[in-house]
Structure 1
C-alpha cells in the first residue's frame, strides 16, 4: 500500500485543502437535524428556552447550509454520468434544505411572537423537512466522495492556479489509476 504522505503537519494548514466545503458543511448538517428534533420536542412539550434555542440553531443551520452550498461549493470537472447524477441530486437536496431551513426559521421565529399550535406545527413540518433534506444531501455527498472519489486530494475538482488575474483554469487534478 502506498503512503499518501510521510509526515503530515497537524493540524493541516487550510491552504492544503482543495475546497473548504467539507470543513463548513458538517455544522449545518448537525444543526438542522438537531433543530428538527428540538422542534418536535417543543411541539409536544412547549418550553420558552427551547423555543429560543430552536430559532438560533435553525438560523445557524440555514446560514451554514447557504455558505456550504454557495460560497464554498466546489466546481467539478470530468465526472462520469453516474457521478454527475449524484452531484445533481446532492445539489437539489441542498437547495431544498436552504429553503426549508429558511421557512422553518421564519415560522419558528413567528412562534416567539405568537405561540399558536398551528404555527408550531408548520414550523415543525419545515424544520423536519430541512433535517431530512440535509441528511439526504449529506448522503449524496458521501456517495460522491466515497463511491465516486470526488474531492479527496482535489480529485475531479476544478483547480485554479494562484496569482492569475484572469482567474482561468490552469490545471485539473484527477486520481491516478494504479
Structure 2
C-alpha cells in the first residue's frame, strides 16, 4: 500500500514539474514555429499544368476530375482479406463452424473488392513515359502484385467454399485455405507498399501530377 502511494506521489510530481516547465517556456519567449528549423522539400515533379488541373478540380468538384474511385474502394479488400486470414487461423482453435462462415464471407468479399479495384475501378495509369526508371518499376510491381492479390484471393475463395461445404471443414483443407489467404495478404501488403511509394516518394497523383485528368474506371 505504501509503495502504491509513493508511486502515485512520484507520478503526480513528474506531471506537475512537466506542466511548470511548459508554462515557463511559454512565458520566457515565443516557441519556435513548427518546421521553422527543419529543412523544407519542394517536389520538382509537379509542373504548371498539373497545378492548373489541381485548381480546376477544386472549382468543379466532381468525381470525374481525378480518379478518386480506386482509392475509395481499394481499402475494402485490404481489410477483408487480412481479417479473413486472421479469422481462419482463429477458427482452428475456437468456434470452428461459426468462424468458418465468417472467414468464407470475408475472403469472398475480399476477392470481389480486389477484382473491382483492379479491373473495374482501376483509376487509370500514370504518364508512363514521363516516369523515371525507379518510379516505373515501382508502378509495374504495384500492378503485378495487385493481380497476384486478385488471383490468390480468388483461389482462396474457391478453396474455402470447397473446404466448408464439400470436406466439412477438415483440418488439412483449412490449412491449405490459410496458406492461400496468407499469400493474398502478402500480395496486398506489397501492393499497398508500392502504391504508397508512388504517392509519397514519386509524387504521382499529388496535385494531379502524372495522372489522367478523367476517371478511366
- Could you tell me the TM-score, scaled by structure 1's length? 0.78
Name 2:187's counterpart in structure 1. 133
- Report the equivalent of 1:148: 202
**Structure 2 residue 129 is matched with structure 1 residue 75:** no
Larger RCO, structures 1/2 (Cα 8 Å, 6+ apart): 2
* CA distance in 1 between partners of 2:186 and 2:202 (Å): 23
Residues 32 and 131 of structure 1 are in contact (CA less than 8 Å); yes or no, is this contact kept in structure 2?
yes
Post-superposition, which runs of at least 4 consecutive aligned residues in structure 1 deviate over 6 A?
A: none
Aligned to 2:177: 123
How big is each residue's C-alpha offset from its partner over 1:18-63, in whole Å with a ceiling of 9 and x where there is no partner? 3421111111111111111111111333522211111111011111
Q: State how 1:29-178 maps to structure 2 within 5 Å.
A: 29-45=78-94, 47-73=96-122, 74-77=124-127, 78-113=130-165, 114=167, 115-160=169-214
Larger radius of gyration: 2
- The TM-score with structure 2 as length reference comes to 0.65
Contact map agreement 1:62 1:98 (CA 8 A) in 2? yes
Q: Residues 62-90 of structure 1: CA distance to partner in whole angstroms, max 9, x if unpaired? A: 11111111112221102111111001111
Identify, as 1 or 2, the structure richer in helix. Answer: 2
Which stretches in structure 2 are left out of the alignment for 5+ residues? 1-39, 41-53
Using the TM superposition, name which of 144-153 and 57-66 deviates more. 144-153
Cα separation, partners in 2 of 1:13 and 1:47, compared to 1, 3 Å: farther
Count, aligned residues: 156
What is the CA–CA distance in structure 1 between the aligned matches of 2:96 and 2:67, rounded to whole Å? 43
User: C-alpha distance in 1, partners of 2:95/2:146?
Assistant: 30
Question: Contact 2:65 / 2:213 at 8 angstroms: preserved in 1?
Answer: no
* 154 and 72 in structure 1: CA distance in 2 versus 1, 3 angstrom threshold: farther
User: How far apart in 2 are the matches of 1:160 and 1:53?
Assistant: 38
User: Secondary structure of 1:45's match?
Assistant: coil
- 8 A Cα contact 1:32 1:58, kept in partner: yes
8 Å Cα contact 1:43-1:124 kept in structure 2: no
> 2: CA distance between counterparts of 1:143 and 1:68?
18
Aligned-residue CA RMSD in angstroms? 2.4
